[in-house]
Structure 1
Amino acid sequence: MSYQKALEAYIAATNTHDFDNVARLLDGAAVYWFSDRSCHTLDEIRAYFEHAWHVIQDEVYRAEDVVWIASDARTAVCVYTYHFEGYHQETFTSGSGRATNVFVRHADSIWKLKHEHLSSIR
């Protein structure tokens, strides 16, 4: 799988709302930076995702304007605009922001997400 396909798989896994699907695509030492919190363990990342899925019901997450800003045989970095939509307290809501993702290639040639940084657009 290419790093581009790894991003596509990650977005698809996120939209299943099942963290086990997401976890399969994460490096064991993944670090996430959200606007309101940093997560440094898979348990912290799981808790953040599951809370977000609880707050925004039926969320659909997508990436647009993806630009791969660096890549080599072991590392690939992209930036994109993220969009989400779903229901908060039964009212439709949506939003967007900026994302940076860092993928690393493991010895088995599998690309996994090592870092994600999400921030709002102000």
Structure 2
Amino acid sequence: MSYEKALDQYISATNTHDFNNVRKVLHEQAIYWFSDKTCTTVSEIQSYFENAWNLIKEEVYSAEDVKWITVDEGSATCIYTYRYEGYYKSKFVKGSGRATNIFKKEENGSWKLIHEHLSSL
């Protein structure tokens, strides 16, 4: 799988709202920087995702204007505009922000997400 496909797989996994799917594309040492919290373990990341899915029902997450700013044999970094939409307290909401994702290539050739940084525009 290519690093580009790894990003696509990550977005698809996120939209299943099942963290078991997200976990498959995460590096075991993944670190997330959200606007309001830093998550340094997979269990912290899982709690953050599941809380977000409980707050925003039927959320759809997407990436636009993806730019791969560095790629080598072992890592790939992209930046993009993220968008989300769903229902908060039964009211339709949507928003966007900036994202940075870093993928690390595993010995078996698969690409795993090792870092994500999300911030508002």
TM-score bucket of the superposed structures, by smaller chain: over 0.9
Q: What is the TM-score when the length of structure 1 is the normalising length?
A: 0.99
Structure 1 residue ranges, 4+ long, deviating more than 6 angstroms after superposition: none
CA apart distance, 1:36:
0.1
Indicate the residue corresponding to 1:99 in structure 2. 99
Aligned amino acid, residue 57 of structure 1? K
Q: SS at the partner of 2:22?
A: helix
User: Where does residue 60 of structure 1 map in the other structure?
Assistant: 60
Give the corresponding residue for 1:89.
89
- After TM superposition, the score normalised by the length of structure 2 is 1.00
Secondary structure at 1:61 match in 2: strand
Specify every segment of 5 or more residues in structure 1 that has no aligned partner in the other structure, as ranges: none
Residue aligning to 2:47? 47
Any idea what SS the aligned residue of 1:95 has? strand
Partner of 1:109: 109
Taking the aligned partners of 1:76 and 1:42, their CA distance within structure 2 comes to 20
Pairwise CA distance, 1:50: 0.0
Aligned-pair identity in percent equals 58
Distance across 2 between alignment mates of 1:5 and 1:90: 33
Q: Secondary structure at the match of 2:61?
A: strand
Find the residue that maps to 2:6 and give its secondary structure.
helix
Query: Where does residue 10 of structure 2 map in the other structure?
Result: 10
**What displacement does 1:115 show?**
0.0
Unaligned runs of 5+ in 2: none
Separation of aligned partners in 1, 2:9 and 2:54: 22
Q: CA RMSD in A?
A: 0.2
Aligned residues: 121
Distance 2:17 2:36 in 1: 21
Taking the aligned partners of 2:72 and 2:36, their CA distance within structure 1 comes to 31
Say whether 1:28 aligns with 2:33: no
